[in-house]
Amino acid sequence: KAGVTQTPRYLIKTRGQQVTLSCSPISGHRSVSWYQQTPGQGLQFLFEYFSETQRNKGNFPGRFSGRQFSNSRSEMNVSTLELGDSALYLCASSRGTSNTEAFFGQGTRLTVV
Amino acid sequence: AQTVTQSQPEMSVQEAETVTLSCTYDTSESNYYLFWYKQPPSRQMILVIRQEAYKQQNATENRFSVNFQKAAKSFSLKISDSQLGDTAMYFCAFMKHTGANNLFFGTGTRLTVIP
């Protein structure tokens, strides 16, 4: 079956702009989580959506937001981009119940200039 | 809060040899999951092995095995018969036993397998 698909793979944006990243989970998976990966801070949890509701949220400013659609596809949005938002953004899907594996996409590399 | 510590930023091993990657964690939870993920240059995170905290038996997946010491909050990964394809970043991760898809990651260990 198809894996987790993230689009686009690469993005270059200017400071102050906003950006939307997309994640299509594995069929049947209802949970999508987003992570930010940077050399300085490592892998940090942004938020998780389950059945269209945000179930968990990490410690990121309100400029980072997300949503999930009825088909479980998820988007994350970053407004008023800062240079420090340059990172690899990974999404992971799972069934959303305990004892289930999280499958990761290949990520979106965002560069803010 | 949960923290995961990987104290070895880089390691190398000769092909066919065995290597052990260290991980310690801190939590007040009594039940949880621990994982080792591999991230090759392609950037895709791949699950290597998973351990449930309530299981005393150490998990094993082919050449990969763990040494889980719950009291010491230690979770090391042993790779036997190392292969060139094992070259990657390895991340130790923690997840609460709540069903929430929320992983806490360590800072990673870059493993290089030398031919």
pLDDT tens readout for residues B15-33: 999 999 999 999 998 889 9
Task: Please tell me the predicted confidence (pLDDT) of residue B99.
Answer: 62
Strand partners, A100: none
Distances (CA, A) of A84 to A10, A30, A40, B23, B105: 16, 30, 10, 28, 20
Distance from CA of A84 to the nearest CA of B (A): 18
Which residues in chain A have Cβ-Cβ distances shorter than 8 Å to B50?
101
Question: What is the residue-averaged pLDDT of chain A?
Answer: 94
Q: What percent of chain A has pLDDT over 70?
A: 97
Residue by residue, DSSP assigns chain B as --EEE---SEEEEETT--EEE--EEE-S-SSEEEEEEEE-TT---EEEEEEETT--SPPEETTEEEEEETTTTEEEEEE-S--GGG-EEEEEEEEETTS----EE---EEEEEE-
Q: Measured between CB atoms, does B31 come within 8 Å of chain A?
A: no
Per the CB < 8 Å rule, is A88 touching B52? no
Contact B108/A at CB under 8 A: yes
> Nearest to residue B20, comparing CAs of B73, B71, B75?
B75
The C-alpha of B32 sits at a distance from chain A's nearest C-alpha, in angstroms, of 9
Residue position matching structure tokens 């594995």: A26
pLDDT of B98 > 90? The answer is no
Nearest residue on chain B to A102, judged by CA atoms?
B101
Query: Mean pLDDT throughout B5-13?
Result: 97
- The predicted-structure confidence for A31-79, as pLDDT tens digits, reads as follows 999 999 999 899 999 999 999 999 989 999 999 999 999 999 999 999 9
Selecting from B44, B46, B91 the residue whose C-beta is nearest the C-beta of A43 gives B91
Of A29, A38, A52, the residue nearest A102 (C-alpha)? A29
Confidence of residue A6 (pLDDT cuts 50, 70, 90): very high
Please state, in angstroms and rounded to a whole number, the distance separating the CA atoms of residues A73 and A93. 10
Give the C-alpha separation, A64 to A81, whole Å: 10
Inter-chain contact A96–B102, Cβ cutoff 8 Å? no
Q: Is A46 on the interface with B (CB under 8 A)?
A: no
- Give the model's confidence band at A9: pLDDT under 50 very low, under 70 low, under 90 confident, else very high: very high
Rounded to whole angstroms, what are the CA distances from B62 to B29, B40, B80?
29, 19, 9
